[in-house]
Amino acid sequence: MANAEANSGTGRRRGLCAGRIGFIGLGRMGTAMAANLAAAGQDVVAYVRRPEQKRILEALGLVPTTSFSDLFERELVISMLPDDAAVQQIAFGRKDLGIAGLLMGLMPRAIHLSMSTISPTTASQLASEHARNGQSYVAAPVFGNPDAAKARQLFVIAAGAPPELARCQPIFDLLGQHTFTVGSTPATANLIKLAGNAMVAANLEILGEICALARKRGLDAEELLAIMTGTMFGSRFHQIYGSKIAGQQYRTGGLVFPLALKDMRLVLQEAEQAGVPMPTLSVVRDRFITGIARGYSELDWSALGLLAAEEAGLSVAPGKSPATTKLGSPTQQEPLHARSTR
């Protein structure tokens, strides 16, 4: 199904929209992505709601605006927003406030490039409505965290009409290390992204449980992880997130619990509609609910490991790893506490 297209310099010669780009969604991910585009010479107008944000964005080479209509003359507008409701609002506007959205304001043949993790249903709706208005819609959610975004190391999952994908490819080349083109139906890209996030979340849960078991039995969780990643589980995912959990380094940033919960709900919704039981993911969804209830809304989703530790009678002190011994040398773990979001 997927045609993997490696990054190359060829895309940059295809001439996207004379470099005229709008950007909506200036969170940590969006800001890093927009800044990379500006650093590469693109003319990027960035929409923000608060005037005090302008100075920060100007320092990054962006052209900030608090007027949404300034995006309407752009030939491509990128949205990097947290959920379906946010994307729908910027697309459809607010009739109650007399604010036009992209559907009413974009010029003919302009592209709305949605790089958000949203539901396939919303992606299909937006594609249909943009087509009705003579515009184009491309879905291109990404795998990667804010650090990967800064380093232009994102993986882009892109779907849309071939001519529009060709116009967007130079942007993908500037933002990521690899683009996977997965067909002409935008919803496909969003379903693949949700499937990937489901796999990450399920793996984070089992990593947390295994590390909790190691600590309760007096093993060095970091040494255990080194063995696992040096044998059967050597992926970047296991190395990066495993080190956070084994080292009990739970911080803000990355995909926070509420957004991870949103994604699990979307995957389970797709599964229910398709008649596919996903009992493991149902458990993981409830784990995110538990974390939010305990006040971990600002923590990266690797803090599923913190929940596993707590339920095993363990916890982690701010900035400290618990005392452990080497493999094969059981010792009593001291109870730790901490819900630091630093």
Whether the CB-CB separation of 198 and 267 falls below 8 Å is answered with yes
Take residue 264 and report the two structure tokens written for it: 């699990």
71 phi, psi to nearest 5 deg: -80, -15
Q: What is the DSSP letter of 318?
A: T
Beta-bridge partner residues of 261: none
Catalytic residue of the set 54, 95, 193, 244: 193
Whether the CB-CB separation of 54 and 64 falls below 8 Å is answered with yes
Residues 6+ apart with CB under 8 A from 234: none
Name the helix (H) or strand (E) containing 309.
helix 304-311
Take residue 127 and report the two structure tokens written for it: 């594609």
Whether the CB-CB separation of 109 and 86 falls below 8 Å is answered with no
Take residue 270 and report the two structure tokens written for it: 């797709």
Whether the CB-CB separation of 76 and 22 falls below 8 Å is answered with yes
Whether the CB-CB separation of 252 and 299 falls below 8 Å is answered with yes
Residue 216 annotated among the catalytic residues of the structure: no
CA 114 to chain centre: 12
Phi-psi region of 82 (alpha: psi -120 to 50; beta: other; left: phi over 0): alpha
The structure tokens 């094969």 sit at: 328
Phi-psi region of 230 (alpha: psi -120 to 50; beta: other; left: phi over 0): alpha
Take residue 320 and report the two structure tokens written for it: 């400290």
- Catalytic residues, which ones? 193
